[in-house]
A and B are shown apart, each in its own frame.
Chain A
């Protein structure tokens, strides 16, 4: 008799599941709180992005203004207003005077800050994921000082904030979205059983496995859908810019990863629900799963990476640099002689041209840098190797896979910051290769020199994505979802047959 009754259509089943979900206590409140938290995180991300962008733009503008004033001075334009084509303040006039004074002096120009920078323009995707951008620098002033000093990270930050961690949309997605899905789904089936409505429901033409799937899908998608609109914020901000297409693609990928990550947690719920325990037990087991996947595994990966790949400490770097410098100062005379012998094209300055023996200090710095630079790069390579271990580790935790992919899409990953520092180190070398002969000869700079001056070429590094990383992260998420989902579904199917 029961076989003759046609089963409920998928649409009706989903509507029924949605109705049940919407009417369950606390659902709407929890959704509202989650959305408010997401909105706060987005606003916080937006403010951080705006502030960083403004700092980078200010640094670029200052360097550009200085360059304009220097070039104008070489062309014989002394008036800063004429050079800049706008009225200037008294303070700017003072600065313009300094720029005019140093325009032809290679040593003064190379030692003064604000003229040459390595800058990392933030991507609007940073609003969604600020990654390690609070710990790693996004700008360096490149001068004739030592490379270690130039690449010194000195950003002001509250240790309280650094310790508490970032509060961005990605943090909420990685940590709280699973908890929201757990809260929405832990009592699927168990609640019907505990209230005694399961038998009544099964007396209708509803298959148990379909009922469970419909409920889990509705509840998980309800949580996922709350997050997805936030992916549009960077797209709106990038609208009309050169990077619009890149940001739009990144945003789309971000949304896809969020959806798959949410579905993964749905399959975890499916698996736990299939165990047929009480709702309390389901909740407990799900929270254990959550803690293992978002805390235990990522922690273990972090600890393993630190144990496996030591990174040269800053103490060691400072000590080594001081020792190199001490030796270079002792050998200064010989080093200087050797420099002029090895660079016959560099004209040795007269005593009048070099009355303070500045060339001695320049050659000391050159020697110190020559020995320190490999250490700096080695230490960056070591950090990168640690990051590489994390990329392997993401196979063990969908949360880690998601976080790595999100940071990479947002241009705030460890890998991108290390790459930026390496590029900055290369730029520092390029800068000194250009200035060192001019500083050693102390000849005046010409307009032709200004045309040849190096400039940092990697300002848009934050917009570059690592396709392999994205692909691997997506694959990891899909594999986890598929495996856990299949196991859970098979179990629930078996239960459906028994029921």
Chain B
């Protein structure tokens, strides 16, 4: 028991010594202060942007609903074309990891016959000339902070070795693991201190003032996500601290450790993400909007080898209904034939739209796969994927919104087409009653359990990386001394 207490005391002494060394270097203090200021500023400005965006989205949603309800006596088919707009809400944790949100569409037009894509990416008007410069709080913590830790920690053991203090400490009977643990703990403490504005705000928003960022109540799911995000950030910084000290321990000089770590950081954090996605763009370019439009146009209107599908649908339906009701003309049918035809045509176009959406998703997949492959070698990418999934700002969440928007579009078109088909009957919905019959769109975000593999694979990568760092670290390398 006494031995354990002594070890702890020794560890605390080593941590204190290391921190006092770091404190004595003026440039270290200045850099840390600058980083904290930058992170706090970034958090403040991102929070403000998110708040504004959320308010604008809520206003736009309510205006769109009012616009739909105030259509007066518009013809149902006209209403199906007039349609409405849906606006993608910003996730409650978007402040801590904007992820792909600024680069994905945020508005979608809802109308009959056409399944529009989400458009208007917030990044379009943001004017970020140097886009690879760690522009978000998460990017600063996940990309910028490790660089600062490298600068602080690359010489930790190499310096002791060069100054011949390492053999001296070891000769006093201090075990290797206590020495390296002391270094790791001090570096991790610095990392936690530097990232305090980030996780402090995360804790504060979840515990002290739930719901202050939005009208959305912080549910249990969001709280769980926030807790995992916090734990993930701490684990990630621990991984880097371990890795940096491990490299410092296994290199002869501080310069060599610095070079190795800088190259590792440059490749995995800076080069890999754009390189991977741009290589995919060379091998699997995405279609242009004109090319994508041609996919369904070809199916709808036919080409050299096929016919116009609408003509066929109309003819088949006409034949079927005339026979069923035993009449000679569609005018004699007890309902509006055009409304029914619209419903049948819509079924076909919905099917085509789904095929197109699936095809586009297939073509988009290699980009995500490239990032997923990259995350096997890049802790930055692994953490980035985890945090995006947790914050609900990844592509999966984007597609989830898109699917709900499409379900809503089908609901809206079905309601107005049904009304259109009944327009000559007394029960037909008209005016305000019809507009009210189309429910208001309420986006239901997915729960954490639905994320599945999107979350677990990068977490496993981080754990493997932690294991490798630990193994490297706790293998004594006294022979360099």
Segment at the B interface, from A3-11, A150-158, A212-220: A150-158
The answer to whether A296 touches B60 (Cβ under 8 A) is no
Contact partners of B100 in chain A: CB under 8 A: 159-160, 162-163
- Residues of B within 8 Å of A306, CB to CB, are 45, 49, 126-127
Mark out the residues of chain A between 224 and 259 whose CB falls within 8 Å of any chain B CB in the assembled complex: none
Does A40 reach chain B (CB closer than 8 Å)? yes
Residues of B within 8 A of A314 (CB): 106-107, 119-120
CB-CB contacts of B90-117 with A at 8 A, as 1s and 0s?
0000000001101110110000000001
Complex-state Cα separation, A296 to B253, whole angstroms: 29
Answer yes or no: B337 CB below 8 A from chain A CBs.
no
**Is B19 interfacial (CB-CB < 8 Å)?**
no
Which stretch in A335-343, A397-405, A431-439, A471-479 binds the other chain? Answer: A397-405
* Measured CA separation A174–B133 after assembly (Å): 11
Q: Which residues of chain A are within 8 angstroms of B303 by Cβ–Cβ distance? A: 90-91
Contacts of A28 in B (CB 8 A): none
Cross-interface CB contact of B151 among A284, A298, A400, cutoff 8 Å: A284
B34: Cβ under 8 A from any A Cβ: yes
B282 interface contact, C-beta 8 A: yes
For residue A100, CB closer than 8 A to chain B, the reply is no
Given the contacts A159-B103, A174-B130, A291-B144, A167 and B135 also touching, CB distance less than 8 Å: no
**Contacting residues, chain B, for A285 (C-beta < 8 A):** 27
Given contacts A155-B288, A167-B274, A175-B132, contact A295 B144 (CB under 8 A): yes
Complex partner residue of A316 from B60, B64, B104, B155, CB under 8 angstroms: B60
Docked-complex contact B258 and A302, CB < 8 angstroms: no
Q: Are A175 and B270 in contact (CB under 8 A)?
A: yes
Asked whether, in the complex, the Cβ of A313 is within 8 Å of the Cβ of B104, the reply is: no
- Closest Cβ of chain A: how far from B28's Cβ, in Å? 9
Q: How far is the CB of A286 from chain B (nearest CB, A)?
A: 10
Quick check: is A311 within 8 A (CB to CB) of the other chain? yes
What residues on A are CB-neighbors of B371 within 8 Å? 160, 164
B362 within 8 A of A: no
**Pair A283/B130 contact, Cβ less than 8 Å:** no
| A299 touching B360, Cβ below 8 Å | no
Task: Determine if B130 and A400 form an interchain contact, defined as CB atoms under 8 angstroms apart.
Answer: yes
B279-316 contacts to A (CB < 8 Å) = 279-282, 285-290, 292, 303-304
Q: Mark B253-282, 1 if CB is under 8 A from A, else 0.
A: 111001100100010001101111111111
| Residue picked from B275, B292, B360, most chain A C-beta under 10 Å | B275
Q: A390 near B: Cβ within 8 Å?
A: yes
Tell me, yes or no, whether A354 is within 8 Å of chain B by CB.
Answer: no
Q: A302, B127: Cβ atoms under 8 Å? A: yes
Determine whether the beta carbon of B67 is less than 8 Å from that of A288: no
Is B289 a contact of A287 with CB atoms below 8 Å?
no
Q: Are A379 and B125 in contact (CB under 8 A)?
A: yes
CA distance in complex: A330, B125 (Å):
33
Q: Annotate A260-301 by CB proximity to B: 1 below 8 A, 0 otherwise.
A: 000000000000000000111001110110011011101110
Contact: B147 with A156, CB < 8 Å? no
Q: B207 on the interface (CB 8 Å rule)? A: no
Residue A428 is within 8 A (CB to CB) of chain B in the complex: no
Q: B124-140 interface mask toward A, CB cutoff 8 Å, 1 = contact, 0 = none?
A: 11111111111100000
* B281/A161 in contact, CB under 8 A: yes
- A105 nearest CB across to chain B (Å): 20
Closest chain-A Cβ to B248's Cβ sits at a distance in Å of 11
Cβ of B120: which chain A residues have Cβ within 8 Å of it?
A: 153, 314-315
Q: Which residue of A lies closest to B398 (CB)?
A: A159
Interface presence of B436 (CB below 8 A): no
* B129 close to A404 (CB less than 8 A): yes
**Considering only CB atoms, which chain B residue lies closest to A302 in the complex?**
B128
Contact between chains at B277 and A288 (CB < 8 Å): no
Q: For the complex, is A487 an interface residue (Cβ under 8 Å from B)?
A: no
Which of B51-59, B414-422, B464-472 participates in binding chain A? B51-59
By beta carbon, the residue of chain B nearest A58 is B290
The answer to whether the Cβ of B16 comes within 8 Å of any Cβ in the partner chain is: no
A326 CB-CB contact with B under 8 Å: yes
Q: In the bound complex, do residue A315 and residue B282 qualify as a contact, i.e. CB atoms below 8 Å apart?
A: no
Contact of B288 among A43, A55, A152, A414 (CB under 8 A): A55
Known: A44-B279, A51-B285, A302-B135. A315 touches B304 (CB 8 A): no
B436 to chain A, nearest CB (A): 17
Assuming the A-B contacts A179-B266, A387-B127, A390-B127, are A135 and B132 also in contact, with contact meaning beta carbons closer than 8 angstroms in the complex? Answer: no
Q: Once the chains are docked, how many angstroms separate the CA of A153 from the CA of B124? A: 9
The stretch of A68-76, A200-208, A317-325, A489-497 in contact with B is A317-325
- Given A164-B277, A288-B27, decide whether A43 and B123 contact each other with a Cβ distance below 8 A: no
Contact B129 A390 (CB under 8 A): yes
Knowing A175-B132, A187-B255 touch, does A303 contact B270 (C-beta < 8 A)?
A: no
**Nearest Cβ distance between residue B284 and chain A, in whole angstroms?**
10
Docked CA distance A292–B133 (Å): 10
B281 and A319 within 8 A (CB): no
Measured between beta carbons, the chain A residues less than 8 angstroms from B246 are none
Q: Does B50 contact A (CB under 8 A)?
A: no
- Complex-state Cα separation, A91 to B305, whole angstroms: 9
Distance A159 CA – B397 CA, assembled complex (angstroms)? 12
CA A135 to CA B106, docked complex, whole Å: 14
On whether the beta carbons of B125 and A383 are closer than 8 Å, the reply is yes
Residues of B within 8 A of A291 (CB): 144, 147
Distance between B366 CB and nearest chain A CB, rounded to angstroms = 9
Whether the pair B123, A162 counts as a contact (CB closer than 8 A) is: yes
* Shortest Cβ gap from A271 to chain B (Å): 14
Per the bound structure, the CA–CA distance linking A179 and B45 in Å amounts to 29
A92–B227 Cα gap in the complex (Å)? Answer: 59
Residues in A neighbouring B211, C-beta threshold 8 A = none
B285: which A residues are within 8 A, CB to CB? 47, 51
Given A171-B132, A306-B126, A379-B125, A166 and B367 contact (CB-CB distance below 8 Å): no
Contact A166 B130 (CB under 8 A): no
B41 at the interface (CB under 8 A from A): yes
Enumerate chain B residues within 8 angstroms of A294, measured Cβ to Cβ. Answer: 130, 133
Given contacts A316-B60, A319-B64, contact A40 B279 (CB under 8 A): yes
In the bound complex, residues from chain A placing their C-beta under 8 Å from that of B154 are 280, 284
Q: Could you give 16 example pairs across A and B, Cβ below 8 Å?
A: A90-B303, A158-B281, A161-B367, A162-B121, A162-B123, A164-B273, A164-B274, A278-B254, A280-B254, A280-B255, A296-B34, A302-B129, A303-B42, A303-B45, A399-B130, A407-B129
**Which residues on B are within 8 Å of A, measured CB to CB?**
27, 31, 34, 38, 41-42, 45, 48-49, 53, 56-57, 59-60, 63-64, 67, 70, 72, 85, 87, 99-100, 102-104, 106-107, 117, 119-135, 144, 147, 151, 154-155, 158, 253-255, 258-259, 262, 266, 270-271, 273-282, 285-290, 292, 303-304, 360, 364, 367-368, 370-371, 395, 398
A164-B371, A284-B258 known; 7 new pairs, CB 8 Å cut-off, are: A44-B281, A90-B304, A158-B277, A158-B281, A158-B368, A174-B130, A280-B255
**Shortest beta-carbon contacts, A-B, top 10:** A314-B120, A162-B103, A164-B273, A167-B278, A315-B60, A158-B367, A280-B254, A161-B277, A159-B100, A167-B274
A-side interface residues toward B, CB under 8 Å?
A: 26, 37, 40-41, 43-44, 47-48, 51, 55, 58-59, 89-91, 132, 135-136, 152-167, 171, 174-176, 179, 183, 187, 278-280, 283-285, 287-288, 291-292, 294-296, 298-300, 302-303, 305-307, 311, 313-316, 318-319, 322-323, 326, 330, 379, 382-383, 386-387, 390, 399-400, 403-404, 407, 414
